[in-house]
Copies of this chain bind each other. A is one copy, B any other.
Amino acid sequence: MNKRIADLNRYLADKGLKITRQREAVAQVFFDTDGHISAEELYVKVSRSYPGVGLTTVYRTLKLLKEAGLAKERRFAEDSQGVFEKEDTARHHDHLICIRCGKIVEFKEPLIEKLQDEVAQRHGFSVEDHKMELYGLCSSCRTA
């Protein structure tokens, strides 16, 4: 059940880097988080379970997770902070973003992915990854 932690540790070992309590703590809390989380938010969350881990370490660990292909960073225009999400969930899901309240909903739509492949093929491309963001108004903002 800690496959991802194992993946990270393998990556670290490979590179001659060390497995530390702090790295495991940050990674564990990160992997237990669904959706996006900023470095700052992750820091707060980690601090609850493992006090004494510094913000710097959170940043540095997130960087490692990105290098290891386990995390992905995104930046939304509305937000000054970058956010991170698990790479495997990042891979095939997209975002609905409310332009009024900023609410973000994740969704998956296999049909869209199929169409993306078709369009790409028509242009001679193979698709490795994609990013899609839909901007609009969520139900509460629409009725308000």
Q: Which residues of A contact B (CB under 8 A)?
A: 72-77, 79, 82, 96, 98-99, 105, 107, 109, 111-112, 115-116, 119-120, 122-139, 142
A-B contact pairs, 16 of them (CB 8 A): A73-B77, A75-B75, A96-B125, A98-B125, A99-B128, A99-B129, A105-B125, A112-B115, A120-B136, A124-B142, A125-B136, A125-B139, A130-B132, A130-B135, A131-B131, A132-B132
Number of identical monomers bound together in the oligomeric complex: 2
Q: Which residue of B lies closest to A127 (CB)?
A: B136
- Decide: B120 and A134 in contact? CB cutoff 8 A: yes
By beta carbon, the residue of chain B nearest A99 is: B128
> With a CB–CB cut-off of 8 A, which chain B residues contact A109?
115, 119
Which residues on the B side are within 8 Å of A133 (C-beta)? 130-132
Contact B112 A125 (CB under 8 A): no
Query: Measured between alpha carbons, how far is A123 from B2 in the docked complex, in Å?
Result: 32
Q: Assess the A120–B96 pair: CB atoms within 8 A.
A: yes
15 A-B pairs besides A75-B76, A127-B136 with CB distance below 8 A are A72-B77, A96-B119, A98-B125, A105-B123, A109-B115, A111-B115, A112-B115, A112-B116, A115-B115, A124-B139, A125-B136, A128-B137, A130-B133, A131-B133, A132-B132
